[in-house]
Amino acid sequence: MKRFSILFVCMGNICRSPLAEGIFAHVARQARLADRLKIDSAGLGGWHQGAQPDKRSIAIAKARGIDITGQRARRIRLEDFEEADLILAMDRSNMAALHAMAPEASNIELFGEFALQTGEDIQDPYYGGLDGFEQVYARLLTGCIALVGKLGTDQASLSGNTSSVR
C-alpha cells in the first residue's frame, strides 16, 4: 500500500516546516496512523541546506517531548510536486512561490486554510524571540491535530485515493 505523502514547506526549512513535520509525526504516531503516512518538510531556499532546525524550534519541540534534531534542511525539488499527495505551505508567500515553481500542481494548499480552516498565515518566527516560536508551535499543533483527524476519518485518502483531501 502506498503511504499518503505530506510535505510541509516554509522559506528555509529550519523554523516552521521542520516543527510542523515533527508535530505532525508525533500526533500521527499517537493516532496510530504514522505507518500509513510519509511525512517530510522542505524550504524554498537552500541557504540552510543540511543544517538542523533552528535551535529555538528544537527547544520548543523538545519541551513537549518531540525530537526534531535528526531533521536536516533541504530545498524543495521539482519531483516533490509529483511525489507528495499534499503540500502545505506555511504562508501565502510560500504558496505563491510553490505555484510559480509548479503552476499545474493541484496538491498545494495553505496550512492555515487546509488544516486550521482560518486562512491564516503561519508567521515566520525567525527574526523574533522565543515567544514567536511558542505561538507558531501552538498554531501548528492545533492544525496538525485537525489534519490527523481529517486524514484518520478519511480512510480513502490513506489508501491512495487523494481526491477527498485535495
Residues taking part in catalysis: 10, 16, 124
Q: Are 122 and 133 in contact (CB under 8 A)?
A: no
- Cell numbers for 46, please give them: 537552500
Other Cβ atoms within 10 Å of 77 Cβ, number: 11
* Of the candidates 86, 80, 94, the residue with the CA atom closest to the CA atom of residue 12: 94
Tell me which residue has cell 534542511. 73
Q: Are 139 and 127 in contact (CB under 8 A)?
A: no
**What is the distance between the terminal CA atoms of the chain, rounded to a whole angstrom?**
20
- Cell numbers for 128, please give them: 523574533
Run of H or E residues at 82: helix 78-83
The CA distance from 137 to 145, in Å, is 12
Q: Return the SS3 of 87.
A: strand
